[in-house]
Amino acid sequence: MATSKVILVTGGTGLVGKAIEKIVQSERRADEKWVFLSSKDGDLCDYNSTKKIFEKHRPSHVIHLAAMVGGLFHNMSHNLDFLRNNLHMNDNVLQISFETGVEKVVSCLSTCIFPDKTQYPIDETMVHNGPPHPSNFGYSYAKRLIDIQNKAYHEQHGCMFTSVVPCNVFGPFDNYNLESSHVVPGLIRKLHDLMEKGGETFTVLGTGKPLRQFIYSLDLARLFLWVLREYNEVEPIILSVDEKSEVSIKELAEEIANAYDFKGKIVFDTSMADGQYKKTASNAKLRKYLPDFEFTAFPAAISESVQWYKENYKNARN
Ligand code: NAP
Ligand code: GFB
């Protein structure tokens, strides 16, 4: 069958992009051509570079993952960069998708962008109900604007531009750089390096008390394919594990220690920030569409992620 869809994945070399690439290997349809971009293909903060990419690939569909992404500490020290870089990338990708007649764009928000003062569980209707947590206001406002832009393109031009709201994501091909990483890759990298040196004290930042929902990147990738093919609301949809799957940072650290068979001590550096205490999100809207979707069990997902790092740490994004 001739290719009738060209699906352009911006941010295709990142944690989520690599997971989608893996799932597409087995779930690609005959009429689909998939293109996975990295920043080497062009700087999406630049309108002309972005236009050149779209003119080259002429996508019918776009999964827009590219972003300046980072953990709590990187956000706290670079809120302006997170704001500007993501505003530029998002405006270029959405405007050029409109200019070139892309049929559908699926962009990415995050459960960390919701109002800091809110009731729980968070749901899709609450995105703009108040200021985000101060630690990542730059990233949060840039991401919230995607939702506003999607609605504006739909209202004025009828564009099918929508967005998903993942909870915290982890898995193979993550960013393990200790300055900018999220907690899961940060702790995997730290424990890996500690055990290489025969260390016995595993230091976790903060109190370990904050609560998080963690989704395995391969599960998120499967959900992305479903959203691309079947979800046709402009309103965002939360892609998160169930509320009952929420764990504390302490429980996460213990899970990573188990995966490494680490027998030493886990200590908490309470001089470091905790960030948001919780951002518990409801996946009821997703469950309405996919009541039987099964998430990978957290211990197995952590174990697979640790195994990947053990086998690939020399070439990982350290
Ligand atoms: P990531 O691993 O940091 O990957 C970011 C991707 O964006 C990379 O492919 C990177 O290219 C590309 N990129 C960055 N700046 C670019 C630029 N100026 N021009 C072109 N490409 C650029 O990010 P991720 O964790 O996969 O996140 C993917 C999406 O999910 C993001 O929109 C993020 O906001 C969202 N999200 C992530 C999480 C999470 O916990 N990770 C949670 C919720 C939502 P290079 O590889 O060439 O640098
Ligand atoms: O993944 P993370 O950095 O970001 O998790 P958030 C931060 C939590 O993990 C805090 C604790 O409670 C930290 O004190 N933590 C413990 C560590 N050890 C470490 C470590 O070695 N590295 C890191 N990074 N944290 C982010 C948002 O919030 O969520 C971003 O700031 C993004 O914008 C991301 O959306 C998904 O979950 O707190």
Q: What is the 3-state secondary structure (H, E, C) of 122-156?
A: ECHHHCCCCCECHHHHHHHHHHHHHHHHHHHHHHH
Q: Residue 175 domain-assigned? A: no
Instruction: Say if ligand 1 is within 6 A of residue 46 CB.
Output: no
Looking at ligand 2, which residue's alpha carbon is closest to its atom 34? 71
Q: Do 161 and 206 fall within a single domain?
A: no
Q: Residue 108 domain-assigned? A: yes
Instruction: Say if ligand 2 is within 6 A of residue 266 CB.
Output: no
Q: Do 68 and 137 fall within a single domain?
A: yes
Q: Residue 131 domain-assigned? A: yes
Q: Do 132 and 222 fall within a single domain?
A: yes
Helix axes 15-27, 217-230, angle to 10 degrees: 60
Atom of ligand 1 nearest to the CA of 13: 9
pLDDT value at 2 more than 80: no
Query: How many angstroms is it from 200 CA to the middle of ligand 1?
Result: 33
Atom of ligand 2 nearest to the CA of 169: 36
Q: Do 72 and 103 fall within a single domain?
A: yes
Q: Residue 158 domain-assigned? A: yes
Residue-range definition of the domain harbouring residue 257: 183-211+245-281+297-312
Residue 203 sits in a domain of what CATH number?
A: 3.90.25.10
Atom of ligand 2 nearest to the CA of 76: 31
Mean pLDDT throughout 11-36? 97
User: What CA–CA distances, in Å, run from 16 to 9, 12, 58, 80, 149?
Assistant: 10, 7, 22, 24, 22
Instruction: Say if ligand 2 is within 6 A of residue 206 CB.
Output: yes
Contact 2, 31 (CB under 8 A): yes
- Which pLDDT score is estimated for 1? 56
Q: Do 59 and 85 fall within a single domain?
A: yes
Instruction: Say if ligand 1 is within 6 A of residue 166 CB.
Output: yes
Q: Do 164 and 145 fall within a single domain?
A: yes
Query: How many angstroms is it from 72 CA to the middle of ligand 2?
Result: 4
Q: Do 79 and 228 fall within a single domain?
A: yes
Instruction: Name the average pLDDT for the chain.
Output: 97
Give me the percent of the chain exceeding a pLDDT of 90.
99
Q: Do 22 and 135 fall within a single domain?
A: yes
Q: Do 207 and 162 fall within a single domain?
A: no
Q: Residue 104 domain-assigned? A: yes
pLDDT value at 9 more than 70: yes
Q: Do 235 and 125 fall within a single domain?
A: yes
Going by C-alpha positions, the residue among 85, 80, 144, 84 that lies closest to residue 112 is: 144
Looking at ligand 1, which residue's alpha carbon is closest to its atom 48? 39
Confidence of residue 111 (pLDDT cuts 50, 70, 90): very high
Mean pLDDT throughout 166-170? 98
Instruction: Say if ligand 1 is within 6 A of residue 203 CB.
Output: no
Q: Do 134 and 119 fall within a single domain?
A: yes
Residue 26 sits in a domain of what CATH number?
A: 3.40.50.720
Is the pTM higher than 0.95? Answer: yes
Query: How many angstroms is it from 26 CA to the middle of ligand 1?
Result: 23
pLDDT value at 244 more than 80: yes
What value, to the nearest 5°, has the Cα angle with vertex 218 and ends 203 and 187?
5
Helix axes 183-196, 249-259, angle to 10 degrees: 40
Instruction: Say if ligand 1 is within 6 A of residue 302 CB.
Output: no
Q: Residue 287 domain-assigned? A: no
Q: Do 22 and 140 fall within a single domain?
A: yes
Domain total of the chain: 2
Mean pLDDT throughout 231-243? 98
Q: Residue 292 domain-assigned? A: no
- Which pLDDT score is estimated for 214? 98
Best residue for ligand 1 mutational test, from 50, 53, 69, 220 (most atoms within 8 Å of Cβ): 69
Q: Residue 44 domain-assigned? A: yes
Atom of ligand 2 nearest to the CA of 190: 21
Confidence of residue 262 (pLDDT cuts 50, 70, 90): very high
- Which pLDDT score is estimated for 171? 98
